[in-house]
Amino acid sequence: MTSSFFTYDKKKVIQALRYHFISRKEIKILIIFVNVFAISTALLFFFKKISPVAFLTSSLLWFFLMIAFWFVIPYLVYKNAETFKDRFKAILGDDVFRIENEKYGRSWHWKDFSSWIESPYFFHLYFNSRSFFIIPKDAFEGDHVQETRKILKEKIRK
């Protein structure tokens, strides 16, 4: 059993949320589509096949989508989630993952998680493709990060 206390750092959480959104299959496809569309309109504008207004419109679409996925959505999720403002204790047991603070606690069986991924600062534990919990790697000092990684590999099948 491994346990540790942690809090969330806003900058790192924002980066983790970006990582989550950008790693989503449908978001990747949308970004590829919008980039191909923007490049196509740039080429068509260069060869004078479309008007400057059409090129400007497609460029603004690209710009606003990138701003939304990189800044707006992660900041809104962070702002609206009380979870990121509290201090927690994570307990990685043999049968359950438990999270608790001064007010409450909650346990999940390892089978409740569908997958997990590792980003630069967090372990992302997924219940399904849209619902997940992040644990900062900073919560685990030294060899405990490696031990946590080992537990997640054993308990949650990717």
Q: What is the pLDDT of residue 118?
A: 94
- Verify that 63 and 113 share a domain, yes or no: no
Q: What is the pLDDT of residue 80?
A: 95
- Verify that 16 and 62 share a domain, yes or no: yes
β-pairing verdict for 88-92 and 96-100 = antiparallel
CA 11/CA 19 separation, integer angstroms: 12
Burial of 73 (0-12, 13-18, 19+ CB in 10 A): middle
- Verify that 74 and 95 share a domain, yes or no: no
Q: CA-based Rg of the chain, rounded to a whole angstrom?
A: 20
Q: What is the pLDDT of residue 124?
A: 95
Total domain count for the chain? 2
- Verify that 92 and 148 share a domain, yes or no: yes
Amino acid at 55: F
Q: Give 35-84 pLDDT, tens digit per residue.
A: 899 899 999 999 999 999 989 988 898 899 889 989 999 999 999 998 89
- Verify that 74 and 94 share a domain, yes or no: no
**Collapsing DSSP states into helix, strand and coil, what is residue 108?**
strand
Domain span including residue 68: 10-80
3-30: average pLDDT: 92
Q: Give 92-125 pLDDT, tens digit per residue.
A: 999 999 999 988 999 999 999 999 999 999 999 9
